[in-house]
Structure 1
Amino acid sequence: MSMAPQPPVRVMVVEDSLVVRQLLVHIIASDPRLVVAAAVSSAEEALREIGRVRPDVISMDIRLPGMDGLEATRKIMSEQPTPIVVIADSIEDSSLKISMNALRAGALTVVEKPVGLSSAGYAAIASTICTQLYIMSQVPVVRQRSFAPWREAQVSWAPRREPEWSPARPSIMGIAASTGGPPALARVLSALPRDFPLPILLVQHMGAAFMEGFASWLNGLVPLEVRLAQDREIPTPGRVYVAPGDRHLLLSPAGTLTMSAEPPFGNQRPSATLLFQSMARSAGRRSLGVILTGMGEDGAQGLVEMRQAGGYAVAEDESTAVVYGMPAAAVRLGGVSVSLPLDLIAPRILRLARGEGE
């Protein structure tokens, strides 16, 4: 019996530039997985039409006349939650910051704005836009909720864990995320003090063009110093080293950072698995790994190897993950020491880092 074909994903395009709007409509219409359900020029129009159009996913420009894309994202996520893909100019600082805050407000990912059929890289950008719209349309979004109920539930929370073993005091920490990652990373890192005693190596799946803006945005939000990692530097405590765009971030046996152009691993570069594997080899039982929300399985195999080397691994629990993909894969493979809701991760990390055990 043949399966009925899936209906195409309905996309609402929000873009004030007529030229870019027509270009996006052309890009989306050329992908058989997608169909343009509506194309509007302002956030106000999008909010008026969303109830009637009921799109599966929204392509959201960030710089709009009147209400900007950040405010539109907030309103949509509180009134009619719909997966949102932010389409942003990667080189303008002001739109980069708005884009990152839109991710914090509930947008799922940010991709580069196309600039014309003849421009270099157009085909790659067009393909990325269509793939992200399709993938993100499948994410079950919920109304932006306050995180307070988790705090109230701490008393009765029973983490999934294996209690028989006491970890060594770690010397370095790796943390990784994908879909839903920026707000989750901001939440964990902002709860760590400025004098946090470990260096932190960070992998976030995001378009290469946005990584510098992402590091700068995170640096402005958290007590720790956050910046893009550089080849051969020595990681120091209290600093967060972000894997740069399209490069693997590794810890060398000498304890220095390595930026690697080796091929993508599991379709990812940077790869969380390669980071965690390198930490397992170089830091062994003194490695600490954290895996947060994200699609797919990146990081899972790396955490398995970290635990086999005697290290400790924390996964975000399903109750708080925007997409319970990467953490679920790590749990399934046996790569996780404990699963915790997002707000309980930083306190656990801090106790471990200070040598206070679990």
Structure 2
Amino acid sequence: MQFNIYNLKLTMSRSDLGEKEMLRRIGVLVVDDSPTKRGIICSMINSQPDMGVVGEAVSGEDAMRKCWGVNPDVITMDIKMPGIDGLEATKRIMTERPTPILIVSSTAKVQVKFTLEAIKLGALDFVGVVSDLEKMKEDLLKKIRIASKVKVVRYIEPKKSLERTKIFKSKASPYKVIAVGVSTGGPAALLSSLSKIPQDFPATIIIVQHIVEGFSRGLAEWLDSQCSIKVKEAEDRDFLSPGLALIAPAGNNLLVSSTQTIKLKSIPPDALYKPSIDEMMTSCARVYGPLAVGIILTGMGQDGVEGIKAIKKAGGLTLAQDKDSSAIFGMPKLAIESGYIDKVVALESLPSEIMSLF
């Protein structure tokens, strides 16, 4: 875990809190060129006893200067700004001074695309700007707390690879479906894994990514543009076919029916995890039994533990991401501790591990 200690006189006096409480506060740099939006975000953060705004920036250039000056634990980043925009600022910060970055963006299609490009450049996660400010506040504060505990890594420009073709040489394999559960740090982990899977992969990949409404279709389209395998947002009655990766739509739990098609059902308002990894994996275990593979990737919480257990008890294979390559070693850790994981795998080794099964 990475923590930065700074002088909180930037935002408060020592008479406001005891020294131990001050040192525990999460320092946030808020970057947005809109005074109104910036004010709303700052107000949300400053309303909490365990965090506070240590600086505000109105452009990418300003963000980079402030990042070095105030030494924040977490940065909230707008995308569209004058001069250096949020994408370039994210890239430079993650290259020169890695710091957990949360993109705060609208759910408009073009903004979702830019947000996911920022994830590719090293941003950790995103927060949707929605009309329900209480809902936005809950999401923002939760993700700031998670981000403050993340092990960040320096962004390295990837080498350009040759376009992939149909190169899969399948052996006789017992597996028909790969069920993947992921949360915080998911988009980058999914890109890292799916981009190395060929388009003629002989099984269906089903993915549940904890995500806010408005982003799941953009995530699927972004991954599809970066990968050889076909990636799409799942729809009701979609057939599970080889060479297809399906992303559960935000706002719906995804189940596999006995006819090997997708069944979507609404998520209860009080559900803790949205969508549910457990429900998806349990349905895969029920329909496919020993023909299913369950994989738990980076994320916070215990969603997926019951699903992994169901797949393992049905005779399937189970994998979990290792600690060193996880942005948040929460879900994988609990899955491993359950005793139902067959193998722990580093993210960079996951594609070859999957391919070796076929």
Query: What is the TM-score with the length of structure 1 in the denominator?
Result: 0.86
State the shift of 1:168 in Å. 6.3
1:9 is the counterpart of 2:20: no
Question: Which of 69, 79, 82 matches 1:65?
Answer: 82
State the shift of 1:3 in Å. 11
Question: Which of 212, 217, 242 matches 1:212?
Answer: 217
State the shift of 1:124 in Å. 1.2
Q: Contact 1:110–1:207 at 8 Å: present in 2 too? A: no
Q: Contact 1:317–1:342 at 8 Å: present in 2 too? A: yes
Report what 1:269 is aligned to: 274
Report what 2:317 is aligned to: 312
Q: Contact 2:325–2:347 at 8 Å: present in 1 too? A: yes
1:190 is the counterpart of 2:207: no
State the shift of 1:265 in Å. 8.8
User: Greater shift after overlay, 20-29 or 238-247?
Assistant: 20-29
Q: Contact 2:124–2:185 at 8 Å: present in 1 too? A: yes
Q: 3-state SS of the aligned residue for 1:202?
A: strand
Q: Contact 1:219–1:227 at 8 Å: present in 2 too? A: yes
1:37 is the counterpart of 2:54: yes
Q: Contact 1:228–1:243 at 8 Å: present in 2 too? A: yes
Q: Contact 1:110–1:206 at 8 Å: present in 2 too? A: no
1:55-88 Cα shifts (integer Å, max 9, x gaps): 1111100111111212111111122211111001
Report what 1:87 is aligned to: 104
Q: Contact 1:263–1:269 at 8 Å: present in 2 too? A: no
Report what 2:169 is aligned to: none
**Which amino acid in the other structure matches residue 98 of structure 1?**
F
Report what 1:142 is aligned to: 153
State the shift of 1:52 in Å. 1.7
* Structure 2 CA distance for aligned equivalents of residues 127 and 346 of structure 1: 34
* Structure 2 CA distance for aligned equivalents of residues 99 and 142 of structure 1: 19
Report what 2:257 is aligned to: 252
1:111 is the counterpart of 2:127: yes
State the shift of 1:144 in Å. 2.9
State the shift of 1:28 in Å. 2.0
* Structure 2 CA distance for aligned equivalents of residues 142 and 344 of structure 1: 18
* Structure 2 CA distance for aligned equivalents of residues 250 and 185 of structure 1: 20
* Structure 2 CA distance for aligned equivalents of residues 263 and 335 of structure 1: 28
Q: 1:306 to 1:147 in 2, by over 3 A?
A: farther
Q: Contact 1:301–1:335 at 8 Å: present in 2 too? A: no
* Structure 2 CA distance for aligned equivalents of residues 168 and 134 of structure 1: 42
State the shift of 1:32 in Å. 2.8
* Structure 1 CA distance for aligned equivalents of residues 263 and 155 of structure 2: 38
Q: 1:265 to 1:237 in 2, by over 3 A?
A: farther
Report what 1:156 is aligned to: none
Report what 2:36 is aligned to: 19
In structure 1, stretches of 5+ residues that fail to align are 149-166
Q: Contact 1:314–1:339 at 8 Å: present in 2 too? A: yes
Q: 3-state SS of the aligned residue for 1:59?
A: strand
Q: Contact 2:127–2:140 at 8 Å: present in 1 too? A: yes
User: Greater shift after overlay, 256-265 or 279-288?
Assistant: 256-265
* Structure 2 CA distance for aligned equivalents of residues 52 and 127 of structure 1: 28
* Structure 2 CA distance for aligned equivalents of residues 309 and 147 of structure 1: 39
Question: Which of 124, 130, 138 matches 2:141?
Answer: 130
User: Greater shift after overlay, 291-300 or 218-227?
Assistant: 291-300
Runs of 4+ more than 4 Å apart: 145-148
The number of residue pairs the alignment matches comes to: 328
State the shift of 1:13 in Å. 0.6
Q: Contact 2:251–2:267 at 8 Å: present in 1 too? A: no
**Which amino acid in the other structure matches residue 135 of structure 2?**
A
State the Cα RMSD in Å: 2.2
In structure 2, stretches of 5+ residues that fail to align are 1-17, 160-171
